[in-house]
Structure formats: C-alpha cells, structure tokens
Structure 1
Amino acid sequence: MVRRSIFTSESVTEGHPDKICDQISDSLLDEFIRYDSDSRVAVEAMTTTGIVFVAGEVTSGSKFDPQRIIRRTIKEIGYDQPHYGFDSESCSVLVSIHEQSPDISMGIAANGEKEQGAGDQGLMFGYASNETPELMPLPISIAHKLTMKLSSVRKKKELDWVWPDGKSQVSVVYEDNKPVRIDTVVISTQHSPDIHLSQLREQIIREVVKPVCGDWVDQSTKFLVNPTGRFVVGGPPGDTGLTGRKVIADTYGGMGRHGGGAFSGKDPSKVDRSACYLARYVAKNVVSANLAQRCEVQIAYAIGVASPVSVMVDTFRTGSISEDQIEARVKKSFDMRPAAIIDNLDLKKPIYKKTAAYGHFGRNEPGFTWEITDKVNLLT
C-alpha cells in the first residue's frame, strides 16, 4: 500500500521583522570581518515600532559606525518610505556592544600548546535529499522561491502595491516519501491600502505563485492568498522581530532535525553556525555520490575541544551501502575541527548578509561554499 502524507514548510520575505534582525546582525558581522578576518562576533538585534536595538559581544580590530550599517541594511531591505510605518531614516537605533568574555576566548583560541577549540558545546544537523536539483526538500525550496519572487515583483515595481513584509507556506503531497504535487499554497503579503483584495489575490496567483510552482500545482491545488484579508500594518509596527527566530526557515523547513542554534550575527568560530554548514556539505556530498537518496548528518562538540564528540549519519533506509560504511568514509574525507572547517569552507569573508534571508542552504551562489560537491570522488 502506498503511504501518502502531506508535509508543509514556510518561508518569510526579507522585510519580515525577524529577517530584518537577521540581516542587521549579519551585516554587522560582515563589516567586522571585512576589516579584521579574525573578529569574534555575537550580535543580536530586536526591532519593533520605530526602533532597532542591537546588543552583543565582539572582539575585533575593526572600527566603523554601526548605525550607518544598520540604517543602510534597513533601506536595502526596502523600508525607505514613512508610509510603511517604519523606515531607515526616522527609526531610532540603539547599540550596546561590549568585548567578548575573556574566559570564553581563552577556552577556544588557538595557541602554541593547543589548536582552536569549538566556540561552544552543541549538536548540529545537516540534511540533503535528491527530490530537487539543489538537493533540498521540495516544500522549503518552493517556499523560498515564492518569497524571493514576492520580493522581486516589489523591487522591480511589477506589483507596486506589494510592501516589504510577507510569508509563504507550501504543503506538498508525498507518496512513499516522493513528492508528487502541491496540495496548498499560502501567501500573505503586506500591501498598499489602495489595492482591492480580489485584485490582490488574482495578481499574486498569476504573477507569483504559478510561475514559481509550475507543474507541481494542478486543478486541485488550493491557493490561500492573504487569507485574513487586509494586511497593511506589517513589518516592525505589526510584529516585534528578533535575530534567530526563523531557524526552521533558515534550514530545511522542518524536514530533518535541528540542533537549536541560530546562525545570524555569529562568526564562524561558533560551531552552531560553521558546523551546520559543514554538516550540510557532508550530507549533500553523500547524496551527490549516490550513497543515499536522503541523508542527515549530526555533529556534536564540547566547548574548547577541537574534535567532535560524535558524528552520526542517517540515510532513512535509502542508502546504497550501510550507514556504518558511509560514516567511516565521511570521517576519513572531512576534517571536522573548527579551524579546518573555517579554512576549507573559506568562512573568514564577508559573505553572511546574503545568507540571512531565503535560507542558508540550496543556494547556487558565490560564497555558499558548503553547497559544493567536491568530495564525491573521495566518498565513492
């Protein structure tokens, strides 16, 4: 008997309050790294009506004006008009950044006696699946493409009534763990008060949903566009935003497990970021090598210790060889010490702002080094 199920994932636009905060945090990280590649950074942001708060711990030789970077980021997102209820020129910006704890720094820094240790304890996951060309789960892949399209039609003024805040949600029908069709698409977009709801729904389905979803939708697919109706008040005036509150949208849309650590605002010495990138790198190479149709990798660390305390590979019974064999090949082919991860994935560069919206994985763009499948030959 065929096992039929529906799996749902969501994405949010770059103008969503939580994503504003992620982009602010990573914009500041990029600026610190740009002038001092050894910067140690942990920066968080919060935003609500008319204000942005930024706080964190930083050790860096970089000198710049954080307010300038924060306001520029808000403007680039699209909050550049007072009628949005939030804009880069008039919002207040409060910054409280102090130096990283010397106790933590002493525990993780490399010196003549020991190599660089992990920046924190924790467990990190990576995942890959052969159900899309980018080896990502279909629900989150389509959800991200919808929010990217929503942002595109706004910025290009193809739908000039679309405002910055928005969300998507995609429910995919699976039969025996294979995607067969999209059951439901949900789109909620902030909009000008001048657009009529029926016109809004018609244009979003025609200009955003159908071009992205293609043949995955059919006569039975349900389209729910702004299901609550009016959505004029959005962004920070509509909802408080926080850095690191969209970790499932940042990763695999709930398909595959999550270790709990957020990414944005953290330099690559923090393994809850860099080791998640490594775990994706491993999982994607395993699937690319045809060793499995689906692969999840868990890596765990102790603070101050270089080598991971555990490495696990799960292929969900799709492996072409045993998981023990795959684990052995993975351990032989990938150096999982923090300094090696940073070096091999070239992570001491200002690449992070572009990761802070539309997902950290499945992106075939410069800087996303963890998406490269250059270990296939070593694994086979």
Structure 2
Amino acid sequence: MFEKVNPKHPDKIADCIAGSIVDLAYKEKDNPKIAVEVLIGHGICHVIIETDSKLNKEEIGEAIKRIAGDVIVDIKIVGQDIHLSNNQKEKIRCGDNGIFKGVPVNAEEKKLSLIAREIYSNYPYDGKYILDGDKLIICQSNVPTKILNSIYPKAVINPLGDWTGGFKVDTGATNRKLGSDMGRSVTGGGLHGKDLSKADVSVNIYAHLKAQEENREIELSCAIGDETVDGRPYSEIVEFARNYINSIGGFEEFAKWGLI
C-alpha cells in the first residue's frame, strides 16, 4: 500500500518553496546553514528562516510567487543558534540527531510513482493517488472525472466528484508528506528546507540510495556533532548527498517528488 502526491499538492508547494530558499542559500555560499518552515494557504504564505546566509527578501518573495502565484508574503529571517553554528566551525560534522532506515523501492511504489508522474505531465494540478494491490485510487483536481475514467477504467476516480484543490481550499506545510517522499523508509525528521549538514537530508539520501544499491534495508543513527556515520566521515556523507541534489537540479527539484 502506497500513497503518492504530486508537486501541486499544498504540502508539496510548501516543500518546493522551502527548497527554493535553500537553493538561494547555496548560491550565496558553498556550505550554508539554513532551516526553513513554510505554511501556505488561502492567499498567504508564512515563511520562517533560520540561517547564517545573507538572503534577500525580495528574491525570496519572487521565488514564492513563481511557485505559488499571487499570494501575500510574510517572511521572517533570524540568525542560526550560536551553539549550532559553532558545531560546524572547524569541520563538517553531523548537524542533528536522527534515526534513518532506507528501504529498497518495491514494485508497487515504482508503479504508482510512474502513474503520478504520467497524470501530472498532462494535468499539472493538485492530485493524490493510492495503490493497494490491484486497487488504484485517483484523486485529481481540475480534470473531468470522465476523462480519467477513459484512461484508467479500472481505477476509483474522484469518489466525491470533480474538485478544484490547491491551497485556495486547503493549507500546506513543510514535511507533511514524507510517506509520499520516502515510501516505507523511516526518518526521525523532515527531508525539506534544510542544508546538507542536517542528517535529515544527507543521511536520508545516503541510506535510501545505499538501500537501492545493496537491495536491503539500511538502518543508521547519529548524534549532533558526530564525525562519522556508517563508518564513513560525515563530510563524505554530505558530499554524497550534494552530488545527488546537484544531479537532479537542486533542492526545489528534490522537493517536488522526494526520493521515490
């Protein structure tokens, strides 16, 4: 059983906004420290940013409106906690506590991810999907149900009828769709809106990709300040994750679909 949502789901819009702000921080410096929380809905977007980077509120506002459209923007930027900042002064060390389990992606997760992307490529509006064995449930906004019925005749489609969706009728917040982003994997934190020093980003990416490579579950834990994870220098884990993020086009792109 697996649920997938697309990038126009309100929670994913929040993740994408957070990712775009992290991208701005990485344009400003090679190893920024940043954590972003986003709440969006009903015409307003609230953003709280903790960072050591010099970010421009106008650029942030432009990124928000590019992703979310014409919304009222409320931005709060504060400096990073001095103790967290000092943790990273001499070398790259683990920036947070965490537990992580990477799991090989199964056939059901692969199938639904492909279906979600296929629908989104033709209908880029708020949508969410469930696959449970042979049962496919499609909830897709702004598309007549009869059109989707013709494409997926065996699916349960829009059980309550046609709908509009989006953050005009719902709210979105960062890291509320980790099941969609990670499938059966487990994390103690969120994937989005954070720099690579945060284990929630780098160790999750590392555990996930190692699980695919070795076709087995990978269980890891770490504490803030750790210099090694899985027997490797933490700096290597960070570079491993950096290469992955760069390969897919940045943190905003990562936020659209997550790891699956």
TM-score of the alignment, normalized to the shorter chain, above 0.5: yes
Q: In the alignment, does 2:214 pair up with 1:298?
A: no
1:3 alignment counterpart: none
1:188 alignment counterpart: 139
**Letter matched to residue 10 of structure 2:** P
Q: In the alignment, does 2:178 pair up with 1:247?
A: yes
**Letter matched to residue 166 of structure 1:** G
Q: In the alignment, does 2:95 pair up with 1:167?
A: no
1:45 alignment counterpart: 38
**Structure 1 counterpart SS, 2:200:** helix
How many residue pairs get aligned? The number is: 256
- How far did residue 262 of structure 1 move? 0.9
**Structure 1 counterpart SS, 2:25:** helix
- Please list, as runs of the form range in 1=range in 2, the aligned pairs for 1:219-298 lying within 5 A after superposition: 222-232=154-164, 234-252=165-183, 255=184, 257-287=185-215, 295-298=216-219
Which of 346, 360, 363 aligns to 2:242? It is 346
- How far did residue 286 of structure 1 move? 1.2
Partners of 2:209 and 2:140 lie apart in 1 by 33
**Letter matched to residue 282 of structure 1:** K
Partners of 2:42 and 2:26 lie apart in 1 by 30
- How far did residue 338 of structure 1 move? 2.4
Partners of 2:44 and 2:162 lie apart in 1 by 24
Q: In the alignment, does 2:67 pair up with 1:73?
A: yes
1:182-219 superposed Cα distances (whole Å, 9 cap, x missing partner): x1110011126xxxxxxx33421434x47xxxxxxxxx
Q: In the alignment, does 2:108 pair up with 1:139?
A: yes
What CA RMSD, in Å, does the superposition of the two structures yield over aligned residues?
2.0
**Structure 2 counterpart SS, 1:119:** coil
Partners of 1:225 and 1:32 lie apart in 2 by 41
2:75 alignment counterpart: 95
**Letter matched to residue 43 of structure 1:** V
Q: Which has the larger radius of gyration?
A: 1
Q: After the TM superposition, list the runs of 4 or more consecutive aligned residues in structure 1 that deviate by more than 3 angstroms.
A: 61-64, 344-350
Structure 1 residue ranges without an equivalent (≥5): 1-7, 75-87, 129-135, 156-163, 173-182, 193-199, 211-221, 288-294, 312-330, 362-380
**Letter matched to residue 84 of structure 2:** I
Q: In the alignment, does 2:132 pair up with 1:201?
A: no
- How far did residue 116 of structure 1 move? 2.4
In structure 2, do the counterparts of structure 1 residues 302 and 260 end up closer, same or farther at CA, with 3 Å as the change threshold? closer
1:133-186 superposed Cα distances (whole Å, 9 cap, x missing partner): xxx22222222222222221125xxxxxxxx111111112xxxxxxxxxx1110
Partners of 1:126 and 1:242 lie apart in 2 by 24
Partners of 1:38 and 1:61 lie apart in 2 by 13
2:257 alignment counterpart: 358
1:12-44 superposed Cα distances (whole Å, 9 cap, x missing partner): 111111001000000111111123121111001
In structure 2, do the counterparts of structure 1 residues 48 and 62 end up closer, same or farther at CA, with 3 Å as the change threshold? closer
1:26 alignment counterpart: 19
TM-score where L is the length of structure 1: 0.63
How high is the sequence identity, in percent, across the aligned residues?
26
Contact 2:208 2:259 in 1 (8 A): no
Partners of 2:225 and 2:114 lie apart in 1 by 39
Contact 1:168 1:188 in 2 (8 A): yes
Contact 1:36 1:62 in 2 (8 A): no
1:84-136 superposed Cα distances (whole Å, 9 cap, x missing partner): xxxx12x21111121110111112x141xxx42211111112111xxxxxxx2
Contact 2:15 2:175 in 1 (8 A): yes
**Structure 1 counterpart SS, 2:103:** strand
